[in-house]
């Protein structure tokens, strides 16, 4: 496997970064997870825009243009002969000293990995997931905006561990007000009386690229959709629930904390959304 590292495609075994890199020492960096479908990079411009916003929010000055990063991503996909897969784009603050200050990191580092991904076992896409609500809360936006896709994922990792300790593959994370924010690596949607609802980024949701795609798909399907504050009560009383993410794609939820959600099987709106999603991912791509 070839990995793009600071301007070169190198063998994975040679793709090494310094132990003084602040991405490693402090989680000071940003990333994107991007999907390749049928030789196309899905919504590349949208991912790169979110990436630039994350960098700007962290005052991380990137010396590469969007076109250069885009080219590097396409080169990495080609070098690995991938037709379908997953790209991880990472920029770290770069090599510094043992102090926190980014001022002593002269140049950021960039790397791109293109590989395969299978987030959930296939049967869960048919039968649905049983998920749990976990104690670890989503980051308070006043501490660190949940819109920044940074290398600091510790509370999401704690939440993932808590889910696994309950035998679940994914978890609902509440914000510090007790409202539903999202899952550890996915956005959450419910269907209630024929309408789709999802929490806003103010409530702690990442502005997911697939989440955005669901807004477009809902319009195509003539299903009303809006951002709305949600509590667990809303999920208990939802007709349907599903999760979205680049890795997860669109996956139904049929149980929360041991309670059946909706009919206990993937619902009709989920099925329609999934069908259009399958078409959209083959169309909305950048050829490489
Ligand atoms: N929330 C979190 C915390 C995430 O890490 C992700 C990405 N895995 C998502 C939501 C979904 O975002 P996207 O659709 O852009 O993959």
Residues 172 and 279 in one domain: yes
In a domain, 251, yes or no: yes
Confidence of residue 110 (pLDDT cuts 50, 70, 90): very high
In a domain, 98, yes or no: yes
Long-range residue pairs from 115-123, CB within 8 A, at least 24 positions apart, any chain:
115/1, 115/80, 115/82, 115/85, 115/86, 115/88, 116/84, 116/85, 116/86, 117/35, 117/85, 117/86, 117/247, 119/185, 119/245, 119/247, 119/248, 120/169, 120/170, 120/248, 120/251
Residues counted in the chain: 288
Residues 131 and 79 in one domain: no
Q: Which domain holds residue 167?
A: 124-283
User: In percent, how much of the chain has pLDDT > 90?
Assistant: 94
pLDDT at 284: 79
pLDDT at 28: 98
Helix (H, G, I), strand (E, B) or coil at 73: helix
98 CA distance to ligand 1 centroid (A)?
31
In a domain, 288, yes or no: no
Residues 152 and 260 in one domain: yes
Residues 191 and 270 in one domain: yes
For residues 64 and 110, the answer to whether their CB atoms sit within 8 Å is yes
Residues 173 and 196 in one domain: yes
> Largest Cα–Cα distance in the chain?
56
pLDDT at 117: 85
Q: Average pLDDT of the chain?
A: 96
For residues 114 and 36, the answer to whether their CB atoms sit within 8 Å is yes
Is the pLDDT score of 218 beyond 90? yes
pLDDT tens, position by position, 242-280? 999 999 999 999 999 999 999 999 999 999 999 999 999
For residues 241 and 191, the answer to whether their CB atoms sit within 8 Å is yes
In a domain, 157, yes or no: yes
In a domain, 12, yes or no: yes
Protein residue with its CA nearest to atom 8 in ligand 1? 185
For residues 184 and 170, the answer to whether their CB atoms sit within 8 Å is yes
Long-range residue pairs from 48-52, CB within 8 A, at least 24 positions apart, any chain:
50/149, 50/207, 50/209, 51/89, 51/91, 51/149
Residues 202 and 102 in one domain: no
Ligand 1, residue 33: give the atom nearest the CA. Answer: 16
For a ligand 1 pocket test, name from 150, 246, 273 the mutation site with the most ligand atoms within 8 angstroms of its C-beta.
Answer: 246
Q: Which of 104, 106, 171, 107 lies closest to 136 in space, CA to CA?
A: 171
pLDDT tens, position by position, 73-93? 999 999 999 999 999 999 999
Domain CATH code at residue 129: 3.20.10.10
Protein residue with its CA nearest to atom 13 in ligand 1? 208
In the chain, the number of structural domains is: 2
Of 136-140, 160-164, 186-190, the least confident = 136-140
Residues 154 and 223 in one domain: yes
147 CA distance to ligand 1 centroid (A)?
10
For the whole model, what pTM was predicted?
0.96
Phi, psi of 158 (to 5 degrees): -60, -45
Measure the CA angle with vertex 225, ends 184 and 37; round to 5°. Answer: 60
Active site residues: 149
- Interacting residues of 132 by C-beta distance below 8 A, sequence separation 6+: 162, 163, 166, 168, 171, 172, 256, 257, 258
Residues 85 and 191 in one domain: no
104 CA distance to ligand 1 centroid (A)?
31
Protein residue with its CA nearest to atom 2 in ligand 1? 185
Report, in angstroms and rounded to the nearest whole number, the Rg of the chain calculated over CA atoms: 19
pLDDT at 24: 97
Ligand 1 lining (C-beta closer than 6 Å)? 33, 156, 182, 185-187, 206, 208-211, 244-247
Domain CATH code at residue 66: 3.30.470.10
Residues 110 and 128 in one domain: no
Looking at 61, 84, 115, the residue that finishes a domain is 115
For a ligand 1 pocket test, name from 27, 30, 32, 33 the mutation site with the most ligand atoms within 8 angstroms of its C-beta.
Answer: 33
């Amino acid at each position: 496997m070839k990995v793009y590292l600071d301007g070169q495609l190198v063998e994975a075994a040679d793709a090494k970064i310094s132990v003084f890199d602040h991405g490693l020492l402090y989680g000071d960096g940003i990333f994107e997870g991007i999907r390749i479908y049928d030789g196309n990079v899905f919504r590349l411009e949208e991912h790169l825009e979110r990436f630039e916003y994350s960098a700007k929010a962290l005052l991380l000055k990137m010396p590469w243009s969007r076109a250069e990063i885009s080219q590097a991503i396409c080169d990495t996909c080609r070098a690995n002969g991938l037709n379908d897969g997953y790209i991880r784009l990472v920029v770290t603050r770069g090599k510094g000293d043992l102090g926190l200050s980014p001022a002593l990191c002269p140049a950021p580092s960039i790397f791109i990995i293109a590989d395969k991904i299978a987030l959930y076992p296939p049967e869960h896409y048919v039968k649905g997931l049983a998920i749990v609500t976990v104690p670890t809360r989503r980051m308070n936006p006043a501490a660190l905006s949940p819109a920044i896709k940074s290398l600091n994922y510790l509370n999401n990792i704690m939440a993932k561990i808590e889910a696994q300790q309950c035998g679940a593959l994914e978890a609902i994370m509440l914000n510090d007000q007790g409202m539903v924010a999202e899952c550890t690596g996915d956005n959450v949607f419910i269907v209630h009386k024929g309408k789709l609802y999802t929490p806003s980024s103010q409530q702690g949701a990442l502005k997911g690229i697939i989440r955005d795609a669901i807004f477009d798909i809902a319009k195509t399907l003539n299903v009303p959709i809006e951002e709305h504050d949600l509590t667990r009560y809303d999920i208990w009383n939802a007709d349907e629930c599903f999760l979205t993410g680049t890795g997860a794609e669109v996956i139904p939820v049929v149980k929360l904390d041991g309670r059946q959600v909706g009919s206990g099987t993937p619902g009709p709106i989920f099925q329609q959304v999934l069908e259009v999603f399958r078409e959209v991912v083959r169309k909305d791509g950048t050829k490489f």
